[in-house]
Structure 1
């Protein structure tokens, strides 16, 4: 009888030990599962952070590259449109000061100085307009965009049709970014795309939406994805600053289409 009881107790102890062992194995398995899962999540988060950092570096690089390009352009414009002309004025003035020319030649020199200074004033106004359009500051974004479109149309190189409904939803700084985006789009359409017509629509409700289409030569989306030009990088950088989204479609020989959306802050 006692032997049977001892055997039963031994079996119970074995069962308990097996149960404890099973629980320990399960606990170990759970610990390993959570460890590797957490490690996988950490790796994914690290990879995501690395990609975000790389994107921010690229964005910063693009912004700096754009700024340097603008500085070079402004410096070249100042040299070509102002410095060189003022140098001619200086030389002509020295000739007048010497007083060793005939009256008729003196009159011609004065007229030449007047023409040069008039052209220089016009060039300086144009440079100031390109840096910060007065109409944008004084009359707002819609008027500035309409004037920009009309200026391109008046060049006879392209016809720009527009339908703009803007509700003053952006800050002045953000308005300048959007203006520069459109300026870049138009420049690309004319210079690179050789477009003859552009259609622009801007609506401003809960989201500001810009729809832009040209009939230019277009481009290969796959090639652009690998090697974006400074113009497209500049546009994407400004959209990123505006915390907006952009998508574009194009086929060689069939123009280009851009859609930009900016949610009101």
Structure 2
């Protein structure tokens, strides 16, 4: 009987240790999954925070750009149009001066006509800067062609433009975003890159639309550029976001710039 009792105790001890081992392993697995999940969640939170910070920077760049645009327009209206209209008003008052001879009247009238014409030209230029009429009347393709012609007319750069996309179904807001992106890129290539050759190519593959922009300018260190993007580049990024697109950017010193933009 004692032997049987001893064997039962040993069996109970073995079963107890096995259960304890299983419980310990179970607890270890629970802790492992808990901390693993916690780390994954923390990484996701950090990723979302970075995305939110990036979106905040892009939004801030848009607001800064808009504010600068408003200041520029206000200055143009004050310096170019208001000043001319003030002189027109003064000249109009001079016409009321008694005893003006015919030549004086003609001179004052010609001044009024000339200044009014210049004010009209300036107002058209400001309106063109806000929304190029060619976009609204003839669409993005015609707008880009006109933009390319303007740069080619300087004879300092050769811009080649090819397009396989039908932009007619696109809303005017998308037209303007794409147009401003190209405008910014062209200005950067000329002003900073000193490029003499630029290629702009729009292609389509199913629902995916692509713009490939290449210049032969001085280029720059791609890593340094990614770390310190200027306002112009942030503005381009924000416009690409509005297009629900993405982009890749590549540049090296003395090897120009290549930018590929994908959008819907």
Is TM-score (shorter-chain normalized) higher than 0.5? yes
Question: C-alpha offsets along residues 127-152 of structure 1, whole Å, 9 cap, x if unaligned?
Answer: 11111122211211111111111122
Distance 1:165 1:99, change over 3 A: farther
1:33 corresponds in structure 2 to 32
1:86 corresponds in structure 2 to 85
Query: How many Å separate the matches in 1 of 2:246 and 2:144?
Result: 20
What is the Cα deviation at residue 202 of structure 1? 1.3
Instruction: Kindly indicate whether the alpha-carbon contact (under 8 Å) linking 1:217 and 1:254 is maintained by their aligned counterparts in 2.
Output: yes
What is the Cα deviation at residue 12 of structure 1? 1.0
2:239 corresponds in structure 1 to 238
Query: How many Å separate the matches in 2 of 1:112 and 1:217?
Result: 48
What is the Cα deviation at residue 205 of structure 1? 3.4
Query: How many Å separate the matches in 1 of 2:11 and 2:201?
Result: 82
Question: C-alpha offsets along residues 1-59 of structure 1, whole Å, 9 cap, x if unaligned?
Answer: x1111111111111111112111211211121122112112211211121121112112
Question: C-alpha offsets along residues 54-101 of structure 1, whole Å, 9 cap, x if unaligned?
Answer: 112112111111111211121122223211211221122222222454
TM-score by length of structure 2 reads 0.91
2:174 corresponds in structure 1 to 174
| 1:106-185 correspondence to structure 2 within 5 Å | 106-168=105-167, 170-185=170-185
Query: How many Å separate the matches in 2 of 1:217 and 1:77?
Result: 33
TM-score by length of structure 1 reads 0.91
Residue 248 (structure 2) pairs with residue 247 (structure 1): yes
Question: C-alpha offsets along residues 118-177 of structure 1, whole Å, 9 cap, x if unaligned?
Answer: 122122112111111222112111111111111222244433221122212533221211
2:195 corresponds in structure 1 to 195
Query: How many Å separate the matches in 2 of 1:196 and 1:100?
Result: 61
What is the Cα deviation at residue 226 of structure 1? 2.5
What is the Cα deviation at residue 239 of structure 1? 0.8
Instruction: Kindly indicate whether the alpha-carbon contact (under 8 Å) linking 1:167 and 1:204 is maintained by their aligned counterparts in 2.
Output: no
State the aligned residue count. 262
Query: SS state of the match for residue 98, structure 1?
Result: coil
Of stretches 199-208 and 14-23 in structure 1, the one that deviates more from structure 2 is 199-208
Query: How many Å separate the matches in 2 of 1:167 and 1:86?
Result: 43
Of stretches 195-204 and 93-102 in structure 1, the one that deviates more from structure 2 is 93-102
Instruction: Kindly indicate whether the alpha-carbon contact (under 8 Å) linking 2:61 and 2:234 is maintained by their aligned counterparts in 1.
Output: yes
Query: SS state of the match for residue 200, structure 1?
Result: strand
Residue 62 (structure 2) pairs with residue 46 (structure 1): no
Root mean square deviation, CA, Å: 1.9
Which ranges in structure 1 are unaligned for 5 or more consecutive residues? none
Instruction: Kindly indicate whether the alpha-carbon contact (under 8 Å) linking 2:58 and 2:235 is maintained by their aligned counterparts in 1.
Output: no
Instruction: Kindly indicate whether the alpha-carbon contact (under 8 Å) linking 1:215 and 1:255 is maintained by their aligned counterparts in 2.
Output: yes
Distance 1:39 1:122, change over 3 A: same
Query: How many Å separate the matches in 2 of 1:254 and 1:77?
Result: 38
Distance 1:213 1:75, change over 3 A: same
